[in-house]
Amino acid sequence: MGVNFWFENAIDAYLNAVAKGEDWRPAVNEAQTSKEPRRLLTQKDLREKGIKYTRQHLTKLLRKGTFPRPFQLPAE
């Protein structure tokens, strides 16, 4: 099982859209296609941003499509 990562700018876009009561998907898609330098976040980093979900709760949100999907780095 690999480590899940999210792009920081995508999580920031998610948090901003949710705070405004807007659909977060367009904002996250735009952030993910941005050419800006990106920082990778782990679940621990999400906690530092205020997203304190357990791994199990994150899995439920991902299955429902209510949280941005993570990715894993390819094995070398």
Model pLDDT, residue 16: 97
In a domain, 72, yes or no: no
In a domain, 26, yes or no: yes
Q: What is the pTM of this model?
A: 0.89
In a domain, 73, yes or no: no
4-30 mean pLDDT: 96
Distance separating alpha carbons of residues 39 and 70, to the nearest angstrom: 13
Work out how many domains the chain is built from and give that number. Answer: 1
Model pLDDT, residue 69: 95
In a domain, 35, yes or no: yes
Q: Which domain holds residue 14?
A: 6-64
In degrees and rounded to multiples of 5, residue 3 shows phi and psi of -85, 135
What does the pLDDT look like over 19-75, one tens digit per residue?
Answer: 999 999 999 999 999 888 889 999 999 999 999 999 999 999 999 999 999 999 887
